[in-house]
Amino acid sequence: MSVTAGLSVTSLSKSFKDLQVLDKVTFDVPKSETLVLFGPSGAGKTVLLRCIAGAVDADSGTVQIDGDDVTQVPPESRGVGMAFQNFALFPHMNAFENIASPLRAQRQPRLSLAETVDSVARLLKIDHVLDHAPRELSNGQKQRTALARALAAEPGLLLLDDPLRNVDAKLRFEMRLELPRLLADRQATVVYVTQDYKEAMALGDRIAVLDQGRIVQIGSAAAIYRRPANITIAKLFGDPVINLLEVVPEREKQAISVQVSNQQIMLPHAADDVIGRPCMLGIRPEDIAITAPDVPAAVPVSIEAETPLNEKIVSLAITQRGRELLASRPADVASPSAGAAGFLFNGDGVMLFDRESERRIDMQSDSGKKTA
Amino acid sequence: MSASILELQDVNKVYRPMRREPVHAVRDFSLTVNRGEIVALLGSSGCGKTSVLRMIAGFEEVSAGAIRLGGRDIHGLAPAKRGVAMAFEGYSLYPPLTLKENIAIALKSQGIGREQYEAKVRTIAQLLEIEDILGRYPSSVSAGQQQRVSLGRALIREAALHLLDEPMGQLEPQLRAVLRGRIKHFIKEQRLTAILVTHDQTEANALADRIAVMEEGRLQQFDTPEEIKARPANLFTGTFIGEPPMNTLNATARLEDNLLKFHLEEDVVLGYPEDAFATGLRDRLLELEQVTIGVRPHAVKLGEQGVSAKVYANQWLGDQSHVAMHFAGSNLISVSHEHVPVVTGATVDIAFPVAELHLFDSRNGTALSHGGDPVEVPPVT
Amino acid sequence: MQHQSVLENWLRGIALALIVLFFMFPIFWILLMSLQTNETILRSPPSMVFSPTLSNYQAIFAGRLDSNAASLDIRFLGNLWNSIILSVGSVGVALLFGVPAAYAFARYKFRGSEDIAFTLLSFRFAPPLLVLLPLTSYFQTLGIADTYFGLIWVYQLICLPLILWIVRGYFEDIPADVEHAYRIAGHGWFATFRNIALPLARPGIAAAGLLAFIFAWNNFIFALVLASADKQPVTVGALAFVTASGIQYGQIAAAVVLSIAPTLALALYAQRYLVEGLSLGAVKG
């Protein structure tokens, strides 16, 4: 394990008083991979990152970096770089000194130190503000300075704690596209914390979903989006949120189907053991096509409201049984009908969850399906 | 009766801090809000939107100009006498009162009956999904819940105008989408007039009938979300509104071989038939020479013959793909609603149809044309 | 509009001047007294008109107090020197121990840390006289009564809790992540304390140090009981002006002016750091 893993966390637990923040967290990040820790606020992401950095001591469990057990090693000797959500710049030092601080700790000679700071500052386009104090920097520049400080000493392990949280939307977007290249060039092992699912999907080679101190799923963006382990995860990914309908699968001729409003939805890949089980049917808004009301296999609905969401139009509709359903489509696709309409479910996008355990029920087609 | 309820006329705000340069936070700001309308003041931090809101509420003095509410000058009145309800960004809940008492604090002075009181609070609590925490105190609930209570306290009041300062900034993302729809519905149903201050354009787009875009203390554009998106008045509005932001390219316009050609950096040329642009506009472009081309990421179509660009990132977000490219010395972003199978490092063909071009004067950012149609009315500068 | 704000500035200025005059009046009056002889001070009705004299200051510097009845040796300059040694010494010692302790209480929560911190604060609650009686006999046994060392030690009852509790608050206000960032950058805990925590808490340390200095300077009872004539600070030494033949108001006033001067100078100097602390503001980024 330690041969391949840049970072290896084993059974890490942490409590504050009576509150268990981390519960036997275990995962590996192979060298040069970016793992995104994703979860709602309070899931324990930030504490986990600080335990890896050594800023917070775990109650039990181990942290290995490049095969060395560093659980008892103080933060300054772990050789990691870290960027913080609130930047955590040293307010009494200018940007240059902030970026230089990890190099000063290594006692780099002055000349090569200035060179290193300059090159990383140029890379992040902040070389013109190196003599500014943090309070004179814009939020974007602060964020880049914090990132430069984390990168300066070329650490083998880079911990990024929601670094784009406090910058404006435009900059966040630019950085989201720029970061992967930057990180790939450095060949660093990266643990990236975020609570924005889009950022998680865009940046992670793999995503670890953390909920209430536990890792509930680890996988590629595509795997988590298309095959979420449970309802909670399904709801965390996707905007607008996934539609969930209470159903009980039944046998319909040769196939298994569920009833939505007064329409049978076929589940060609479901196994027999789901028949009669209380389930939740999940369908993402973009997997619903809006048709005329009389199209066969479409669920008849009445569209209540259409609201813009970025470049999409979200339609809120109510079925004949009074259930709310959301469908979304690109803004440049005209609405085929207003008022009465049909919602056609894309069969590949349909998910089935057990209502009691909230776990997703595997349907055979998933295992064979190529991920995007 | 007039449709307008609130009028701001040439409102200015100058802050004069001791021993420092005065700050002109709001400049000649004029705005008319109609009865029953939801208007969003949208801008980045420091653009003056909060100053405008605070002047309407009466927490800041107006340095120059007039504010009229329902035909009466209010800019000299104390906040309590203006008939305005406000939800604060920092919630400002009363710590010793329960959430229910916080929400109902304004009803106390109105002297309404017990039944009506309970009914009103219940409606608001259901709307904001806080029924189960009404008996608790502000310190024991999350920031998102406090914010909902603060919003409820403002919405429950009967007032000529409701001011909402970043009302949803702290809400849980899942809830935000649902609450946007519900709150808009509630405001419309109760026929309230609301001004919303936000830096989040998604929120402004979803809630507002019209958006006032602000930057550096000035009103940049005031129009419906659709119109601002389709016809931005200037380069600032163009690049500020839209997610991801509009791509921009600096170009030199020339007439060569009966084609209107835009010369970009790195010797890249975009050529269009002369008649694709109206005559007056074409002459204007040739006269100005230096123009900025704006193209929305959704309008950059990959794989269509035209010019080529090099991909440096391709990110799939479940329901859309973001492809970032190097093109003519700039970064160019394309968004599509399907999964795009290009890899980093690949070269792709892209096209810029005339219908998708926004042209701006490079010197001052003023919009010249949208999709080949010239801008007729000179916009606010 | 412009006109209005000019008028406003004037009115504000006048109001401020009135307030300053009201609060500064006793000090102003004492300054006037120090420039008069006992006769002009005690005349009735009092008058602002007099011919200023420096005789009071001369008497203090000469160390001789001449009154119409007798003349008396006073050691006021010696007292002033004692005050400086005791105040500077005790604030120095209190900073040396108090600042690291405050950091420990702010950053490392260990079992009983709150109790210890509170116990230290509770030293301030005890009536000084109650503490003094046993201390006097202890100090005499130990042979440190009537030494600077002993006095500075006792003065810690005043200075240490003050510095500990004020500075602790400032340390707690520094975001922990700023220190984490410095440690992760490769610096040990002591370097972090010295290069991050100390500079960022400097305004607080300056404020606490100044307050402790003023409290130590103004202390009367510890010195009265524990110090003999040659270790007495100004507060106790001023008693010498109450003579059998009357109270020497002029000299007292001059002595008061001289003893206010060091604290005032220190306050003006430290003000720079206090203001800097306010404008440093956004530590949180």
Contact A237 B318 (CB under 8 A): yes
Contact C187 A135 (CB under 8 A): no
Share of chain C above pLDDT 90, in %: 29
Give the Cα separation of C236 and C239 in Å (integer): 6
Indicate the range of A345-354, C133-142, C223-232 predicted with least confidence. C223-232
Task: Give the whole-angstrom CA distance, residue B343 versus residue B184.
Answer: 42
The minimal CB distance from B206 to the residues A176, A225, A307 is found for: A307
**CA-CA-CA-CA torsion sign (B277, B282, B286, B290):** negative
Which CATH number covers residue C177? 1.10.3720.10
Number of neighbours of residue B294 by Cβ within 10 angstroms: 23
| Rounded mean pLDDT, C223-247 | 81
CATH 3.40.50.300 domain residues, chain B: 4-234
Residue B91: predicted pLDDT? 79
Neighbors of chain C by Cβ distance (3+ pairs < 8 Å): A, B
Q: For residue C4, name the pLDDT band (cuts at 50, 70, 90).
A: low
C146 and C82 within one domain: yes
Pairing outcome for strands A250-252 and A243-247: unpaired
Domain identity same for C41 and C113: no
Angle, alpha carbons C191-C192-C195 (nearest 5°): 75
**Candidates B186, B319, B344, partner chain A, best to mutate (most A CBs within 10 A):** B319
Q: For residues C135 and C154, is the Cβ–Cβ distance under 8 A?
A: yes
Query: Residue B2 — very low, low, confident or very high, per pLDDT cuts 50/70/90?
Result: low
The CA distance from B213 to C88, in Å, is 59
Domain endpoint, select from C70, C104, C123? C70
Q: For residue C66, what pLDDT band results from cuts at 50, 70 and 90?
A: low
Strand-pair category, C64-66 with B330-336: unpaired
ipTM: 0.84
Distance from CA of B23 to the nearest CA of C (A): 15
Say yes or no: C102 and C223 in one domain.
yes
The candidate with the shortest Cα–Cα distance to A164, out of A221, A85, A90, is A85
pLDDT for res B106:
81
According to DSSP, residue B338 is labeled: S
A237 contacts in chain B (CB < 8 Å): 318
Amino acid at C139: F
For range C205-228, the mean pLDDT: 88
Token pair for C96 = 């040396």
For residue C11, the model assigns a pLDDT of 92
Q: What mean pLDDT value characterizes chain C?
A: 84
Q: Which residues of C touch A153 (CB under 8 A)?
A: 185-186
Residues of chain B with CATH 2.40.50.140: 247-374
Claim to verify: residue C126 and residue C261 sit in the same structural domain: yes
Which residue is associated with the tokens 């009135």? C18
Residue B27: pLDDT band with limits 50, 70, 90: very high
Does residue C260 lie within any of the structural domains?
A: yes
User: Residue B313: left (phi > 0), alpha (psi -120 to 50), or beta?
Assistant: beta
* pLDDT tens-place string over residues B179-189: 887 888 889 88
Strand partners, C35: none
Give Cα B93 to chain centroid, integer Å.
27
pLDDT tens, A151-166?
A: 999 999 999 998 888 7
User: What subunits make at least 3 CB pairs under 8 angstroms with A?
Assistant: B, C
Asked whether the predicted pLDDT for residue A80 surpasses 80, the reply is yes
User: In the 8-state DSSP scheme, what is residue B140?
Assistant: G
Cβ neighbours around C89 below 10 Å, total: 18
pLDDT for A252 beyond 90: no
pLDDT per residue as tens digits for the range C108-163: 878 888 888 888 888 778 788 888 888 888 888 988 888 899 999 989 988 999 89
DSSP string, B153-183: HHHTS--SEEEEESTTTTS-HHHHHHHHHHH
pLDDT in tens, A8-61: 999 999 998 888 999 999 999 999 999 999 998 778 899 999 999 999 999 999
Q: Does B64 touch chain C (CB under 8 A)?
A: yes
- pLDDT of C3 > 60? The answer is no
Closest to A281 (Cα-Cα) out of A216, A345, A217? A345
Please give the interface size between A and B, counted as residue pairs whose CB atoms are below 8 Å apart.
Answer: 91
Chain A neighbors of C199, CB-CB under 8 A: 92
**∠C78-C84-C88 over CA atoms, to 5°?**
155
End-to-end CA separation in angstroms for chain B = 32
**How many Å apart are CA A274 and CA A65, to the nearest integer?**
44
pLDDT tens string B330-344: 889 999 888 888 888
pLDDT classification of C284: cutoffs 50, 70, 90: very low
The better pLDDT of the pair C179, B109 is held by C179
Q: What is the mean pLDDT of residues C49-58?
A: 84
How many residue pairs from chains B and C have C-beta atoms closer than 8 A? 3
List helix spans (H) across chain C: 2-34, 38-42, 55-62, 76-107, 113-122, 128-142, 148-173, 176-184, 189-192, 198-200, 202-218, 221-226, 234-237, 249-280
Which distant-in-sequence residues (6+ apart) come within 8 Å of A21 by Cβ?
A: A14, A15, A44, A47, A213
Query: Which band of pLDDT confidence, cut at 50, 70 and 90, is reported for residue B380?
Result: very low
- Among B134-143, B190-199, C69-78, C276-285, name the one with the lowest average pLDDT: C276-285
**Percent of all residues in chain A with a pLDDT value above 70, rounded to a whole number:** 95
The answer to whether the CB of C164 falls within 8 A of the CB of C98 is yes
Beta-carbon separation of B317 and A201 below 8 A: yes
Question: Of A78, A86, A149, which is closest to C175 when you measure between CB atoms?
Answer: A86
Closest CA to A160 of A175, A171, A146: A146
pLDDT grade for B100, boundaries at 50, 70 and 90: very high
Structural domains in chain A plus CATH codes: 5-230 (3.40.50.300), 243-368 (2.40.50.140)
Contact yes or no for A260/A297 (Cβ under 8 A): no
SS3 content of chain B, % helix, strand, coil (to 5): 30, 35, 35
**Which residue from B minimizes the CA distance to A223?**
B318
Paired strand residues for B223? B211
- Domain shared by C159 and C227, yes or no: yes
Asked if B12 reaches chain C (Cβ–Cβ under 8 Å), the answer is no
Mean pLDDT of B129-145: 88
User: Is the pLDDT reported for residue B84 higher than 60?
Assistant: yes
Band (pLDDT 50/70/90 cuts) for residue A365 is low
- Domain end among C33, C51, C70: C70
Across the interface, whether the CB atoms of A176 and B315 are under 8 A apart is answered yes
| Interface residues on C facing A, Cβ-Cβ cutoff 8 A | 175-178, 180-189, 191, 196, 199-200, 280-285
Q: How far apart are CA C281 and CA A367, in angstroms?
A: 56
Give me the pLDDT at residue B40, please.
96
The domain boundary, picked from C21, C48, C70, lies at C70
- Is pLDDT at A310 greater than 80 in this prediction? no
Residues 6+ apart with CB under 8 A from B321: B314, B315, B335, B336, B337, B338, B339, B340
List alpha helices for B241-376, DSSP H.
Answer: 279-288
- Count of CB atoms situated within 10 Å of the CB of B347: 11
CATH number of B4-234: 3.40.50.300
Do C165 and C31 lie in one domain? The reply is no
Please return the burial class of B351, using the count of CB atoms within 10 Å of its CB with bins 0-12, 13-18 and 19+.
middle
Range of the domain at C60: 6-70
Give the model's confidence band at B161: pLDDT under 50 very low, under 70 low, under 90 confident, else very high.
very high
Region B247-374: CATH code:
2.40.50.140
Segment A109-121 mean pLDDT: 90
Ranking A77-81, A363-367, C243-247 by mean pLDDT, the lowest is A363-367
Number of domains chain C is built from: 2
Of B225, B298, B324, the CB nearest to A177: B324
Give domain status of residue C285, yes or no: no
Split at pLDDT 50, 70, 90, the class of C188 is very high
Which of helix, strand or coil describes residue A312? strand
Q: What is residue C62's predicted lDDT score, i.e. its pLDDT?
A: 81
CA C173 and chain centroid, separation? 25
Backbone phi, psi, residue A68, to 5° = -95, 135
CA distance B369 to B354: 10
Over residues C7-24, the mean pLDDT reads 91
| C198 lies in some domain | yes
Flag whether pLDDT at A312 surpasses 80: yes
The pLDDT of residue A370: 39
